[in-house]
Amino acid sequence: MFTFRVGKKNIANQCNVIRWFLQALTFFILLLFIVVIFLKLFDDPITDITKNALLTGRTSKMDANAKGSCSRKNVCPANHIGFFVQSGAANVVPPKICVNNNLALGTIMNNAGGGINIVVVNGKSGDVMKTDHFNMYSGSVEPLIEFLKDIEAGSVVLMAVFDEGSTKLNEEARTLISDLGSSTIHSLGYRDNWVFVGGKGTTGKSNFEKLGVEL
Q: How many CA atoms lie within 13 A of 201 on its CB side?
A: 9
Same domain, 156 and 51: no
Q: Are 129 and 68 in a shared domain?
A: yes
Q: CA of 123: how far to CAs of 15, 99, 157, in Å?
A: 75, 12, 9
Looking at the structure, do residues 149 and 50 belong to the same domain, yes or no? Answer: no
Shared domain check, 64 and 52: no
| Number of domains the chain contains | 2
Among 56, 73, 91, residue at a domain's last position: 56
Do 41 and 77 have their domain in common? Answer: no
Q: List, in order, residues 6 or more apart from 169 with CB less than 8 Å away.
A: 136, 141, 144, 185, 188
Which phi-psi region, left, alpha or beta, contains residue 52 (left: φ > 0; alpha: ψ -120 to 50)? alpha
pLDDT number for residue 88: 81
Q: What would the pLDDT profile of 94-142 be if each residue is shown by its tens digit?
A: 899 999 989 999 988 999 999 999 999 999 999 999 999 999 999 999 9
The answer on pLDDT for 213 being more than 60 is no
Residues 44 and 109 in one domain: no
Same domain, 15 and 115: no
Query: Does 133 share its domain with 208?
Result: yes
Question: If residue 181 lies in a helix (H) or strand (E), which one and from where to where?
Answer: none
Q: Give yes or no: residues 45 and 68 share one domain.
A: no
- Calculate the average pLDDT of the chain: 79
Structural domain boundaries, residue 121: 59-214
Q: pTM of the prediction?
A: 0.67
